């Protein structure tokens, strides 16, 4: 599918993009269907604009995110996407530094292909139009002083633990959060307040951005409802790009941290029939290395680092569990893959469901830790991690069923107990590609320890909700 992006000014698609769907990021917000608040980045630092390469970077990232969020993997019409996953996306994006971006086109496409699992073709076109930099009546809360680093702050358990890790070491941090929806933005602000109260002698501030990709223009009216996709793997590229733009305001060579456990980023399919779609490649070593290489070519003097790369989620929790900030805030972090999903009679969103893949990893990491938190099982008995839940036909749809991730995790734990030697996981990681043998050795250790954490959690749930869960693990589960 072809996609045309406008920035600051409206230009109709031309040539091969004449019939492309269109997203507009215009100065006149009401006329835009790709709404961003990027102006916050430079205004919060009392500047009038970004350097051109960073403006291009966030324009590119928002454009990719919009296409990713609105082009469905199942296609608009039946049979359009052969495997109901891999899309072919040809996107035209206006940039200020045309020569620089044209020189890295292939490398960028490779990065996007790996990250989202699609086939991207990126077409750059020269523009002189910049995001608005005229005087505004809005009063900004200026960010002042020196910072040691910029760190992503998603509202999740890993990024919150990463923030604690940095602040405990005496670092002054400028955090970057993504307000994907208002309730999440409020939760991120609440967690940030806990950090400020817990570390009054540290300098910490935050830039919270949002990117709202609405229905594209230039589509048939009767097809509007089909332009939606829930996986949004490119969100991490947008998150990192904004963080890099913030780093450019903080100071030269300031690192950008993306704290996330090493297990989730490996993206090993839990079962033979799954493509690893339930997890992301945000912190996969190939993606981080390739993106850092791209930044170096573009002469962007910042690096992206994940200091939790070789740790399990449980190890991360253990490293910060005694801090006041962790005790106060960990239970309010959001790990769930669908935190805003409505459930009749249950109030209070966003919340963690307790049974999706990220929630199961979260719960295994907090197993035995005294953290006050709620899962849906508190409100509905049927959501307890049990054999009754796993076998409930009402939730067994292989694509959308609530037990899909649980069954996959149980089978993965079964395979771990049956086959889980270092050699077994080494061969699986080699087959996935993108890693050196040195990295593979480290990640095999991370993977095996993470599976052990999941096994310990399942055993605890079996004691609470029926030992039949252990039978699931011992015998395996048919998907």
pLDDT given for residue 416 in this prediction: 94
> Distance between CA 291 and CA 392 in Å, rounded?
43
> How many domains is the chain partitioned into structurally?
1
pLDDT tens-digit readout, 435-455:
999 999 999 999 999 999 999
pLDDT given for residue 433 in this prediction: 86
Pairing between β-strand 204-209 and β-strand 173-178 as defined by DSSP bridges:
parallel
Contact 320, 168 (CB under 8 A): yes
pLDDT given for residue 136 in this prediction: 60
Contact 86, 113 (CB under 8 A): no
Concatenated DSSP letters of 226-252:
G---S--TTHHHHHHHHHHHHHHHH-T
Q: Would residue 27 count as lying in a domain? A: no
pLDDT tens-digit readout, 54-99:
999 999 999 999 999 999 998 888 767 778 889 999 999 999 999 9
State the chain's maximal CA–CA distance in angstroms: 67
Residue 221, SS3 per DSSP: helix
Q: Would residue 1 count as lying in a domain? A: no
Contact 50, 245 (CB under 8 A): yes
Concatenated DSSP letters of 441-458:
HHHHHHHHHHHHHHHHHH
pLDDT given for residue 272 in this prediction: 61
pLDDT given for residue 169 in this prediction: 98
Q: How many CA atoms lie within 13 A of 176 on its CB side?
A: 29
Q: Would residue 355 count as lying in a domain? A: yes
Q: Would residue 392 count as lying in a domain? A: yes
Domain that holds residue 351: 335-475
CA dihedral 354, 355, 358, 359 (to 10 degrees): 20
Within 10 A of 437 (CB to CB), how many other CB atoms are there? 10
Concatenated DSSP letters of 261-318:
-HHHHH---SSTT--STTS--TT-HHHHHHHHHHHHHTT----EE-TTTT--HHHHHH
pLDDT given for residue 282 in this prediction: 81
Q: Tell which residue, 360, 369, 384, has the closest CA to residue 466.
A: 384
Q: Would residue 237 count as lying in a domain? A: no
Contact 185, 208 (CB under 8 A): yes
Q: Would residue 444 count as lying in a domain? A: yes
pLDDT given for residue 276 in this prediction: 46
CA dihedral 218, 220, 225, 231 (to 10 degrees): -50
Residue 94, SS3 per DSSP: strand
Q: What are the b/e assignments for 203-225, b being 16+ CB within 10 Å?
A: ebbbbbbbbbbeebbbbeeeeee
pLDDT given for residue 171 in this prediction: 98
DSSP assigned state of 139: P
Q: Tell which residue, 58, 65, 67, has the closest CA to residue 40.
A: 58
Q: Would residue 439 count as lying in a domain? A: yes
- Strand extents, DSSP E, 96-169: 119-126, 149-152
Pick out the chain residues at pLDDT < 50: 276, 278, 479
Q: Would residue 423 count as lying in a domain? A: yes
Q: Which run of H or of E encompasses 161?
A: helix 157-168
Concatenated DSSP letters of 314-382:
HHHHHHHTTSHHHHHHGGG----SSTT--BTTB--SS---SSSHHHHHHHHHSTTS------GGGT-GG
pLDDT given for residue 399 in this prediction: 67
Within 10 A of 474 (CB to CB), how many other CB atoms are there? 11
Residue 157, SS3 per DSSP: helix
The residue count of the chain comes to 479
Q: What are the b/e assignments for 47-70, b being 16+ CB within 10 Å?
A: eeebbebbbbbbbbbbbbbbbbbb
């Amino acid at each position: 599918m072809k996609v045309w992006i406008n920035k600051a000014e409206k230009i109709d698609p031309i040539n091969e993009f004449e019939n492309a769907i269109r997203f507009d990021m215009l100065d006149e917000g009401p006329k835009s269907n790709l709404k961003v608040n990027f102006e916050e980045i430079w205004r919060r630092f009392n500047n009038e604009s970004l350097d051109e390469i960073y403006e291009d970077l966030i324009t590119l990232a928002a454009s990719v995110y919009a296409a990713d969020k609105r082009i469905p993997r199942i296609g608009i019409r039946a049979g359009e996407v052969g495997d109901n996953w891999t899309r072919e996306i040809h996107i035209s994006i206006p940039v200020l530094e045309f020569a620089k971006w044209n020189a890295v086109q292939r490398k960028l496409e490779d990065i996007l292909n790996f990250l989202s699992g699609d086939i991207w073709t990126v077409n750059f076109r020269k523009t002189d139009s910049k995001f608005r930099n005229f005087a505004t009546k809005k009063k900004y809360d200026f960010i002042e002083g020196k910072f040691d680093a910029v760190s992503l702050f998603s509202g999740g358990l890993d990024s919150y633990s990463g923030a604690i890790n940095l602040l405990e070491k005496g670092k002054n941090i400028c955090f970057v959060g993504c307000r994907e929806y208002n309730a999440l933005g409020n939760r991120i602000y609440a967690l940030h307040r806990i950090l400020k109260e817990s570390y009054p002698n540290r300098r910490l501030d935050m830039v919270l951005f949002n990117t709202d990709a609405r229905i594209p223009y230039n589509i048939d009216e009767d097809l509007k409802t089909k332009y939606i996709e829930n996986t949004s793997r490119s969100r991490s590229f947008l998150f990192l790009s904004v963080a890099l733009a913030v780093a450019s305001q903080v100071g030269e060579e300031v690192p950008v941290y993306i704290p996330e456990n090493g297990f989730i980023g490996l993206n090993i399919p839990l079962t033979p029939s799954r493509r690893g779609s339930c997890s992301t490649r945000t912190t996969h070593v190939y993606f981080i290395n390739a993106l850092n290489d791209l930044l170096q070519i573009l002469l962007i003097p910042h690096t992206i680092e994940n200091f939790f790369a070789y740790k399990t989620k449980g190890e991360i929790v253990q490293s910060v569990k005694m801090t006041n900030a962790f005790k106060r805030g960990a239970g309010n972090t959001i790990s769930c893959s669908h935190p805003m999903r409505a459930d009749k009679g249950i109030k209070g969103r966003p919340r963690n469901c307790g049974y999706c893949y990220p929630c199961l990893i979260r719960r295994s990491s907090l197993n035995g830790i005294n953290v006050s938190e709620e899962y849906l099982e508190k409100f509905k008995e049927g959501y307890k991690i049990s054999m009754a839940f796993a076998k409930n036909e009402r939730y067994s749809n292989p694509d959308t069923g609530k037990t899909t991730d649980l069954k996959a995790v149980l089978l993965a734990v079964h395979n771990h107990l049956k086959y889980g030697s270092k050699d077994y996981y080494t061969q699986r990681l080699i087959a996935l590609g993108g890693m050196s043998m040195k990295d593979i050795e480290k990640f095999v250790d991370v993977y095996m320890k993470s599976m052990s954490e999941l096994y310990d959690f399942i055993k605890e749930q079996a004691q609470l909700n029926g030992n039949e869960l252990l039978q699931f693990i011992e015998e395996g589960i048919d998907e």
